[in-house]
Amino acid sequence: MKPIIAACGNDCSVCPRFMPKTAAELKATAELWYKIGFRDRVVSNDEIKCWGCTLANWCRHEIIACTANRKIQNCGECGNYPCEKIKQAFVNTARFVPDYWEYCTEAEFAVMEKAFLEKQINLDRLAEECKLSLRHEEND
């Protein structure tokens, strides 16, 4: 499966919330999100499921609104990458690693790592691809 990269660099294609998921998978994710501290309670399946970045989604760093305003899909496509917003997102993501280790199984950690902890790697790769594409356009 080709990665589906969110505005902030998360890999939606492996995210435990990204739809379609079974009811049991969503329930397990809601329980894990509560244990890790992402939620203050175990939320319903409707609350935990995600269909991707939209302006209706809450975004702690306002990255969805920023990418929408710039008419780009993700921060890797931005000429200002990496800005302070995305740098702060990287910092906030990293601060949850100890909680992942405490509450996740090895398999769950592997999913969390691929889905969320590699956001900078994903965006760096996309930013480089954008730069290469621009160079090719300039040379044509």
Distance of CA 133 to the CA centre of its chain: 24
pLDDT number for residue 137: 60
Give the pTM: 0.87
Each residue's pLDDT expressed in tens, for the chain with a length of 140 residues: 688 999 999 999 999 999 999 999 999 999 999 999 889 999 999 999 999 888 877 788 899 999 999 999 999 999 999 999 999 999 999 999 999 999 999 999 999 999 999 999 999 999 999 888 766 566 65
The pLDDT score that the predictor gives to residue 94 is: 94
pLDDT at 9: 96
Domain boundaries of the chain, sorted by first residue: 12-139
pLDDT at residue 130, rounded to an integer: 86
What whole-number distance in Å separates Cα of residue 45 and Cα of residue 71?
30
Q: What is the pLDDT of residue 27?
A: 96
DSSP string, the chain: ----B-TTS-BGGG-SSBSS--HHHHHHHHHHHHHHTSSSS---HHHH-B-S--TTS--TT-HHHHHHHHT-SSGGG-TT-S-HHHHHHHHHHHTTHHHHHHH--HHHHHHHIIIIITHHHHHHHHHHHHHHHHHHHHH-
